[in-house]
A and B are shown apart, each in its own frame.
Chain A
Amino acid sequence: AQKVTQAQTEISVVEKEDVTLDCVYETRDTTYYLFWYKQPPSGELVFLIRRNSFDEQNEISGRYSWNFQKSTSSFNFTITASQVVDSAVYFCALSGANYGGATNKLIFGTGTLLAVQP
């Protein structure tokens, strides 16, 4: 079975602090994909990043960075120097390699609400 756990329900930080959002996943697939999405108050989910299971390189995009560790089944997301505009719910999601007629089924975690105070 596939499962995504985001143990942090809510995090509150003050602007300019660094913050890490945790994501732990379970899957039996040898090939799988991990995603992070941002859901601002407007409701739309915004795609942030996709990571393949065979690529463990960390990635940095501006103030955002992602740490993928297969050994601990984790895909954590760090925001450096947080800003008020980063306030949102962040979802980690997992999909397996059931290609060819099955589904691009995304398994979502329950999300982490990040509140950045000015």
Chain B
Amino acid sequence: DGGITQSPKYLFRKEGQNVTLSCEQNLNHDAMYWYRQDPGQGLRLIYYSQIVNDFQKGDIAEGYSVSREKKESFPLTVTSAQKNPTAFYLCASSIEGAPNQPQHFGDGTRLSIL
């Protein structure tokens, strides 16, 4: 089945450690996105990529980094510079980076601090 796969489902980070969240899609979508969800808040955009080898910062990019070397993959690294990383992270994709295109989401990774 086509879809977006995020792994792992749960992740724990130690102080000073970088961790990487995986996002893979087989929908042949050009655009991919990373969102952060905190309790009682809507989703906030971290990074997005409209095409391979290109990505842009969203609203809360500080402390995060991404790469887009393959169309199918858009990994997110939470660096030690992100002082409050505990959250639910959602990856999404759309056919193209156009405002009328619905985004399709993975089932998320929950990150916690040890």
Which residues of A are interface residues toward B (Cβ below 8 A)? 4, 9, 32-33, 35, 37, 42-47, 50, 52, 91, 93, 95-99, 103-111
Contact = CB atoms under 8 A, between A and B. Distances in A.
A96 B40 CA distance: 24
A52 B100 contact: yes
Contacts of B87: none
A33 B100 contact: yes
20 contacts: A9-B40, A32-B99, A33-B99, A37-B105, A45-B43, A45-B105, A47-B102, A91-B42, A91-B43, A93-B42, A99-B98, A99-B99, A103-B97, A104-B31, A104-B99, A104-B103, A105-B58, A108-B44, A110-B40, A110-B41
Nearest to A98: B99
Interface in B93-114: 94, 96-108, 110
Nearest to B43: A108
A9 B42 CA distance: 11
Contacts, number: 68
Nearest to B109: A43
Interface residues of B, number: 29
B76 to A, nearest CB: 16
A76 B96 CA distance: 27
B42 A110 contact: yes
B23 interface: no
A107 B50 CA distance: 17
A104 B94 contact: yes
B18 interface: no
